[in-house]
Amino acid sequence: MKLKLIELIICFSLTPTCSAVLPLVINTWPFKDATTTAWSTLCSGGSALDAVEAGCAQCEKLQCDGSVGYGGSPDETGETTLDAMIMNGDTMEVGAVGQLRRIKNAIGVARAVMERTKHTFLVGESASVFAENMGFLAEDLTTNQSLSIFTKWLKENCQPNYRQHVSPDPSTSCGPYKPQAMFQRRRRGQLIDIHAHDTIGMIVINQAGQVAAGTSTNGARHKVPGRVGDSPIAGAGAYADSTVGGAAATGDGDIMMRFLPSYLAVEQMRAGVDPSAACRTAITRIKKHFPDFFGAVVCANMTGSYGAACNKRPGFSQFPFMVFNRKSNVPRQEMVDCI
């Protein structure tokens, strides 16, 4: 969606000058339309939560990089399922969905979990039934593109896949798999395609200093059915606290969720660390155990300062992210060198 000039003018004239750099929208990857949509939502009077929801929903509609929304990352059965979350940094409320089927607007369902239930996280078929009951349209998430990725994978004997210690040998064969009686421990391969990313993670801080954060993704290509990644997990995929700031992550969720990188980054900022260094700490913590993991984090604090960090790997030495604030006046792509 293009930000209309009139909205920009209204936005800049209505916002009081308590901060030179707030409001702020920051998101993972060069998903410019999502950034613009979030900004435009703030400008038309929406809350930080509204902006995060609208920004991520825009990516879901556009199928950003094939990694957000319908028609991407088919699982072992060829089905696309979605993970999403949203967090209100004022109230510390969270809504999340994992392995959501049939519903395109995953972040919308996440918000409905937050606002229409006392729960935090719904998963699978039951999450989809909840969404249908809340009025979300049930649709097939399969597209020609996801079907062709799936068909090619079947033709290539289901390579690569996420199985280990099973028979038949998952490095050459499709399932159904059974546990192996005896096995050699094998190192888990890198499966998230670093050239076909990625999850949108977004932080919005409005003029009044309210922080919201959210994520939306279709997860990992050829995942084992039932797999839920880091994106819908508070503190892993994203975290928001209006007394500190927010953080959001992207990358190999199976590894990243073990370290709660978004929570760690926010806690670093709470301790006074600047956003870039906070993001670097979150990456370094994971890197110590998994030097080759694929991942990045964006961080922002209440002064409107922001930063990002990523883990350097072959083919991934810089991480692009989007920023929109009063200084930039436009959605601006920035790059950070990986460590």
**Rule CB under 6 A: is residue 220 a binding residue for ligand SD4?**
yes
- Contacts of ligand SD4 in 198-217 (CB under 6 A): 198-199, 217
Q: Examine residue 197 and tell whether it contacts ligand SD4 (CB under 6 A).
A: yes
Q: Which is nearer to ligand SD4, 232 or 304 (CB)?
A: 232
Any known ligand binding at 123? no
Nearest approach, Cβ of residue 231 and ligand SD4 (Å): 5
Which residue's CB is nearer to ligand SD4, number 43 or number 309? Answer: 309
User: In three state form, how does the secondary structure of the chain look?
Assistant: CCCCHHHHHHHHHHCCCCCCCCCEEEEECCCHHHHHHHHHHHHCCCCHHHHHHHHHHHHHHHCHHHCCCCCCCCCCCCCCCEEEEEEECCCCEEEEEEEECCCCCHHHHHHHHHHHCCCCEEEHHHHHHHHHHCCCCCCCCCCHHHHHHHHHHHHCCCCCCCCCCEECCCCCCCCCCEECCCCCCCCCCCCCCCCCCCCEEEEEECCCCCEEEEEEECCCCCCCCCCCCCCCCECCCEEEECCCEEEEEEECHHHHCCCCHHHHHHHHHHCCCCHHHHHHHHHHHHHHHCCCCCEEEEEEECCCCEEEEECCECCECEEEEEEEECCCCCCEEEEEECC
Residue 172 known to be catalytic: no
Is 75 one of the annotated binding-site residues? no
Among 250, 262, 281, 311, binds ligand SD4 (CB under 6 A): 250
Q: Closest distance between ligand SD4 and the C-beta of residue 88, in Å?
A: 21
Cα(279)–Cα(321) distance, integer angstroms:
13
- Provide the minimum distance between the beta carbon of 85 and ligand SD4 in the complex, in angstroms, as a whole number: 12
Determine, following the binding rule CB under 6 A, whether residue 253 of this chain makes contact with ligand SD4. yes
Nearer to ligand SD4, 219 or 304 (CB): 219
Pick out residues in 76-115 that bind ligand SD4 (CB under 6 A).
83
Query: Active-site residue among 80, 199, 217, 281?
Result: 199
Residue 217 annotated in ligand binding: no
Closest by Cα among 136, 74, 133 to 104: 136
CB nearer to ligand SD4: give 229 or 275: 229
Question: 50, 60, 76, 230: which one contacts ligand SD4 (CB under 6 A)?
Answer: 230
Would you say 36 is a known binding-site residue?
no
Query: Computed over its alpha carbons, how large is the radius of gyration of the chain?
Result: 19
Residue 252 among known ligand-binding residues: yes
Which of 64, 68, 97, 192: binder of ligand SD4 (CB under 6 A)? Answer: 192
CB of residue 227 to ligand SD4, shortest distance in Å: 8
**Smallest distance, Å, CB 199 to ligand SD4?**
3
Annotated binding site for substrate: 227-230, 250-253
User: Which residues of the chain form contacts with ligand SD4 (CB under 6 A)?
Assistant: 83, 192, 197-199, 217, 219-220, 229-231, 250-253
The residues annotated with a catalytic role in the active site are 199
Residue ranges for the known binding site are 227-230, 250-253
